[in-house]
Structure formats: C-alpha cells, structure tokens
C-alpha cells in the first residue's frame, strides 16, 4: 500500500511564495465582487444629477412659456427697461381753487297782478328788454274807471259845500262844528278818489325792474286774479355764482380776487370776474363757507348756465416743476424715478403747488434732472433703464452728433 501525498499548505517543503498567494486569494475575490457595485452606484448618482438638471431646465422653460402666454417677456435680469423721461425745469405756476356752480341773477322779479280782470293787451314778449316802469300788459279797467268818476263827483260836491260853508261861517250863519264836518267829509272823499285812481293804475301791469323778460305766464283774454303771476324779469347786467368752499381754504379766499369761469354751453369760452363777498361763518354740517363770485352779464353769460370756476390766489414765476404724470401713484410720500447713470433711482419729494399738469418741487430734485414719465410700472429702484423718444435724442452728446455726421459724409 502506497503512502498518501501531503497537503501543499501543510507540507514543510512548500515554497513561501505559494503560501502568500494562497493567503491573498480571498482578498482579491472580495475586491472583484465589490467593484461592479461601486460602478453601479456612481452611475446612479450621475443619472440622478442629470435628471435634476433636466428638471430645472424644464421648470425654467415652463416659466418662460407661462410668461409668454400671459403677455410678459422672459428677459434676463440685466436687460434695460425702455422709459420716457422729462426734464426738471423752472416754470411759472399758480395756486388756485376750482369748483363748479350755476349762474344766478341777483336782480330778478316776479311780476304779479295787483287787480283782477281780463287781459286785454300784451305789450311785451319773452326775450325782450324792458326798463323800469314800462307797461307790460293792460287789464280790463272799466270798473276802476267808473269808481274814479264816482269819487271825483263826490269830491266836487263836497268842495262846493265846503266853499259855501266858509262864507256862512264868516257871516255866522252856521256853526264851526258844521263847517268842520264838511271839511272832514271832503278830506275823506279826496282819499277815496286817490284809492280809486290807484286801483285804475293797477289795470296797467308795469315792470318793477329793468331787465329781460325771461318768462310770460299769461295769454291775452285770460282772466287773472289778484296776485297772479304774469311775467318774470331778470336783470342780467350782473350775474353771480356761489361756491361752497372747504373751510381749509378760508385763509386763501379774499374779496376782489380774480375769478375765471369756463362754460361748456358757449364752447368752453372763459369769462373773468371777481370775488364779490365771502360768508363770515362756516356751515357746521358741511364744513364749507359761501364764496359769491360776480360776473358781468354783457359777455354772453346767461342766468342758469353751469360752469367750472377757478380762483387763483397765488402765483410763482420761477418755480421748480415736474410733470404730474411723473409722480408715483403709491400710498407713500410723493416720489419719482430719476434716471442717474442709466439706472432708475427712487427719489422722495416735498411738493408745493399743484397746477394742472405741473407739480412744484420744493426739495428732492435739481434743475435739469431727468424723471421717468412713461414706463414707471415696469421698473424698480435701481433697475437699468434705456431712455427712448425725443428725450433720448436730446441726451446725445455733441461729440456723438459730430461723429455721426462724420460717418455720414
């Protein structure tokens, strides 16, 4: 029987190199197994990073697409916003109060009948100018005329009786008491005659004031009663407009200040007048006081017209001004966007008078500064801007103009 071969590991005769390889074999096997797993992990991480980048790009594209659909532009942050500007300049400016009012004629009279009767004759019509005391209409006066005749007869009779009584008193044929009674009767008859004559005069309807017949309320042949309205006369030589002014303007309103009224009924024509009088009290309910403005009535104004009234109470001939359109429409303090070094800078202002399209600047800007008038809603403080329009051409330097001219030639 042959003896078995000894194991290579346990054999004393095995070489040291072989033993080293046999000991490293498990380590190499483990390394080979771990290496593919690491590669798969790195590939997964790279894939995740790429997916995230693609997702961010898609989000940006989606946002731009949404802005485009909404009508907005997808711009880079550093893109200049086109704006229009205006220069801060010195101009005359006025301080004024404006309001609306209707014209009224202070001289106006309602002509009424002082007697009853039938209208026999009309001597004027609407629109005609009449003078004070002019006869406008005549009423049936037969009854009044007969009353006058009766009173005259009574007066003549008593005058004759009184003359005889005077002679008889001198001859002591009648008593003094009888003579006095005849004299009292005569005085009474004369008063009755005056009343009858006054009643007869009421048959002629006359104008109480001078002016224009604004309305006729009666026709020929109508039976009018006592105190019935017949005509309305307006004295249009002077017209008034009453403004109810807030109490904060009480210190600025003075009698004699110039007033301008614009009436749309005559094509927007302007009429000048003055403040005639100012109420000394303020209405506690409305917080206003009355300012009465007077206008001459010979320039085309008519009673009842409605217009816009402006009262100028102060004027500055050399005020620093900006267009009102440049003012920012927020709830904070007054401010504008000034263009400085190609950027929009928000500047707070202290304003003075406001006059139409201009606003006075008391502090915050200097003459010659450029302020944004169009494009304010698209910019913020510090945003880059590009001036367009006529202001951009004005801002070109003389060197640029000469260079452009040289290139052309």
| Average pLDDT for 131-151 | 94
Percent of the chain's residues with pLDDT above 90? 45
pLDDT of residue 390: 61
> Which pTM value belongs to this model?
0.57
Examine the pLDDT at 23 and tell me if it is beyond 80.
no
CA distance 398 to 402: 6
The mean pLDDT value for 71-85 works out to: 67
CATH number assigned to the domain covering 97-105+236-315: 2.40.30.170
Residue 381: predicted pLDDT: 87
- Contact indicator for 257, 310 with CB cutoff of 8 Å: no
Q: How far is CA 273 from CA 29, 136, 138, 239, 279, in A?
A: 114, 33, 40, 10, 18
Report d(CA 349, CA 363) in Å as an integer: 6
Residue 240, pLDDT score: 94
Q: Are strands 306-323 and 288-296 parallel, antiparallel or unpaired?
A: unpaired
What confidence category does residue 396 fall into, taking pLDDT thresholds of 50, 70 and 90? low
Domain boundaries, the chain: 81-91+318-395, 97-105+236-315, 111-139+204-235, 141-202
List, for residues 322-381, the tens digit of each pLDDT value. Answer: 999 999 887 778 899 999 988 889 988 998 888 888 899 998 888 988 999 988 888 888
Q: Is the pLDDT of residue 66 over 90?
A: no
Instruction: Note whether 136 and 205 are within 8 A (CB).
Output: yes
* Token pair of 182 as six digits: 């005849």
Task: State how far the Cα of 243 lies from the Cα of 275, in Å rounded to an integer.
Answer: 10
Q: Is the pLDDT of residue 80 over 90?
A: no
> How is residue 194 written in tokens?
């005056």
Task: Compute the distance between CA of residue 370 and CA of residue 99 in angstroms, rounded to an integer.
Answer: 33
**Of the listed ranges 143-147, 188-192, 212-216, 268-272, the one predicted with least confidence:** 268-272
| pLDDT of 127 strictly over 70 | yes
Is residue 388 within 8 Å of 84, Cβ to Cβ? yes
Top-level class of domain 111-139+204-235:
mainly beta
Pick the range with the lowest mean pLDDT from 8-12, 27-31, 232-236, 304-308.
Answer: 8-12
**Per-residue pLDDT tens over the stretch 275-303:** 999 999 999 999 999 999 999 987 788 88
Hey, which residues does 245 pair with through a beta bridge? 289
* Residue 59 Cα to chain centre, angstroms: 50
| SS3 per-residue string spanning 189-204 | HHHHHHHHHHHHHCCE
Sign of CA dihedral 154, 155, 158, 159: negative
- Out of 1.10.10.60, 1.10.287.470, 2.40.110.10, 3.60.21.10, the CATH code matching 141-202 is 1.10.287.470
Q: Which residues on neighbouring strands pair with residue 205, listed in sequence order? A: 137
CATH class, domain 81-91+318-395, is mainly beta
Of 25-34, 37-46, 370-379, the range with the lowest mean pLDDT is 37-46
């Amino acid at each position: 029987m042959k003896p078995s071969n000894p194991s290579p590991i346990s054999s004393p005769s095995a070489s040291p190199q072989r033993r080293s390889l046999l000991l490293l074999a498990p380590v190499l096997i483990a390394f080979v197994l771990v290496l593919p797993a690491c590669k798969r992990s790195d590939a997964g991480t790279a894939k995740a990073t790429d997916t995230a980048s693609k997702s961010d790009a898609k989000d940006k594209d989606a946002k731009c697409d949404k802005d485009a659909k909404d009508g907005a532009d997808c711009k880079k942050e550093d893109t200049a916003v086109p704006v229009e500007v205006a220069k801060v300049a010195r101009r005359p400016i006025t301080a004024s109060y404006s309001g609306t009012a209707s014209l009224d004629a202070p001289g106006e009279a309602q002509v009424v009948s002082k007697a009853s009767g039938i209208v026999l004759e009309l001597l004027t019509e609407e629109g005609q100018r009449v003078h004070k005391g002019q006869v406008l209409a005549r009423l049936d006066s037969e009854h009044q005329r007969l009353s006058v005749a009766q009173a005259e007869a009574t007066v003549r009779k008593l005058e004759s009786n009184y003359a005889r009584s005077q002679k008889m008193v001198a001859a002591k044929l009648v008593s003094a008491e009888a003579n006095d009674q005849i004299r009292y009767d005569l005085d009474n008859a004369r008063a009755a005659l005056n009343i009858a004559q006054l009643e007869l005069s009421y048959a002629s309807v006359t104008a109480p004031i001078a002016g224009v017949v604004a309305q006729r309320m009666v026709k020929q042949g109508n039976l009018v009663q006592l105190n019935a309205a017949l005509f309305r006369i307006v004295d249009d030589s002077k017209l008034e407009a009453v403004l109810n002014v807030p109490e904060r303007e009480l210190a600025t309103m003075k009698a004699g200040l110039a007033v301008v009224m614009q009436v749309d009924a005559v094509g927007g024509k302007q009429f000048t007048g003055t403040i005639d009088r100012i109420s000394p009290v303020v209405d506690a309910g409305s917080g206003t006081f009355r300012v009465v403005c007077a206008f001459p009535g010979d320039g085309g104004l008519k009673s009842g017209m409605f217009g816009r009234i402006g009262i100028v109470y102060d004027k500055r001939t050399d005020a620093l001004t900006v267009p009102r359109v440049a003012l920012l429409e927020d709830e904070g303090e007054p401010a504008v966007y000034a263009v400085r070094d190609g950027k929009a800078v928000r500047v707070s202002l202290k304003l003075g008078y406001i006059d139409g399209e201009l606003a006075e600047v008391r502090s915050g800007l200097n003459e010659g500064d450029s302020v944004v008038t169009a494009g304010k809603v698209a910019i913020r403080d510090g945003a880059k801007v590009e001036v367009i329009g006529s202001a951009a051409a004005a801002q070109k330097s003389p060197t640029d103009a000469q260079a452009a001219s040289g290139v052309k030639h």
